[in-house]
A and B are shown apart, each in its own frame.
Chain A
Amino acid sequence: MKKSYKIEVDCPNCANKMERAAAATEGVKSAAVSFMTLRMTVEFENGADEKAVMAQVLKNCKKAESDCEIFF
C-alpha cells in the first residue's frame, strides 16, 4: 500500500532527515519526501496498520527535526 501525505517542514536538508527517519520506521517499506511539493509518500509493509505506523513515523521525524509536521 502506498499513500501520500501533506507535510510541513522548513529546510530541504530537514526534509531529507525526515525521509531517512520515516524510512527507518518499523512497518514502512520505503518513504520519499519531496521538499518542493511538501509531500511524503510512504509505502507500507504488508499488513501494517497505517494509523499506528504513521504515528510512529511522526514521532521519529520529530526526533530528527523538531520543526516538522505530517498531516494524516
Chain B
Amino acid sequence: MTQTVFAPWEDPGEKPLIQFKNVTKRFGSFTAIDNLTQDIYEREFFALLGPSGCGKTTMMRMLAGFEEVTEGQILLAGQDMARVPPNERAVNMMFQSYALFPHLSVWENIAFGLKRKKMPKSELDARVDEMLRLTRLERFARRKPHQISGGQRQRVALARSLARAPKLLLLDEPLGALDKKLRQDTQFELMDIQEKTGTTFVIVTHDQEESMTVASRVAVMDEGQIIQVATPDKIYEEPASLYVADFIGDVNIIEGIATKSGEDGYKINWSEGKEPFQAKTPRTLSEGQKAYIAIRPEKIAVSQDKPDSALNSIKGKIVDIAYLGNMSTYHVEIPGGLTIKAQTANTRRLSRRSFTWEDEVWLSWTLTAGSVLER
C-alpha cells in the first residue's frame, strides 16, 4: 500500500494559499524583513523558527494585518492584502499572551468573533459548543479567564481564534507560557486539531524541538531572511548552512580544506599531517576550497578498538560524559585540541557501561554521516 505524502510544495500545479513576494519591512532605518519571497500552502503547518529579533513575529503580524508591508506584496488566496484591515481578513491569530478578554467568560470569549459575523443565535451557540468540545473546555464555559489554569487559557485562546473558521491561523509562540510536560502534550493536541479542522497553521517559535514536532515545513530565519525552508527531517539531516546546522540540535563542525576524491566525494584536510576525513555530498566544491563537515553526535560511533570498515576514524580521550538517562553524550578530545561530541543510546544499565572518564576510545562515522557545507 502506498501512502500519499503531504507535500504540496513539490507539486507545481498546486496554488499556494499565502505568497510573500519580495516583501521588505522597515521600522525607521531598521530592516526587519529583507526582500523575502515564500509560498505557504493550504493545510500546511508552517513553522517560522529563529532567534528573537530575526523577523519571524513581524512576518506574522504582517499576515494578521497589524503591520504594513514597506515594499512587495503579500497575497492570500491570490488576493493582495495590502489594503485589507485586520478585521476583514480571513485570518485569525492566537496571541502569545493569549489576550483573553478578562471581563468576558470563556463562552463569551469564544463567541466574541462569531457575534461580529451577525450569525443566527442557534448557529452561534452550536459553533461555540463545538469549539468547547474540540478543546475539551465544556466544564469551564461559565468561568472567567482568571479562574482557569494556564493550559486551559491556552485552549480558550485557540478555540476563540478557530471559532471563525479562518483560512489561516497564526500562532505566536503559543506554548511559550506552559511548562515542559504540558507543552509536549499540547503540541500533539495542536497537530490533532490542525488535522481535524484542516486549517492552515503558521506558527512562530524559537523552540526548535517544538517546530520539528508540529510542523510540516520549517523555515529557519535570521536577520529578516529565510535561510532554509524544508521538512523537519531535511532541516536536521541536510542543513543548508552552518547557521541552520548549529541552530537545530547539536552538531560537531570540523573545518578543513576540500580536495576531490572519487565520484561525488571529497577529502577534508582538517589538520596538517593528519589523515583527512572523507565525505560524500551532492554539492560541488572547488579544489582547495574551505569547507566544513557538520556531523550530528548520534551519527558518531564510539568503540574500544579501531573499527575495520569505517572510512573515518580517529582516536581520542573522553573528557566529559553527559548522562541524560536515555542516552549519554561523550565529549572526546582528539589530537589537535578539537572536542567531538558523540552520542550513544543507553540500551544497557549504567553499571555495565563500558567507557568512563579518561578512557581512550575510537570515534568513527560513515561517508554519508555528515553534511559538507561551504558556509
Asked whether A and B interact, the reply is no
| Interface residues, chain B, with chain A CB atoms under 8 Å away | none
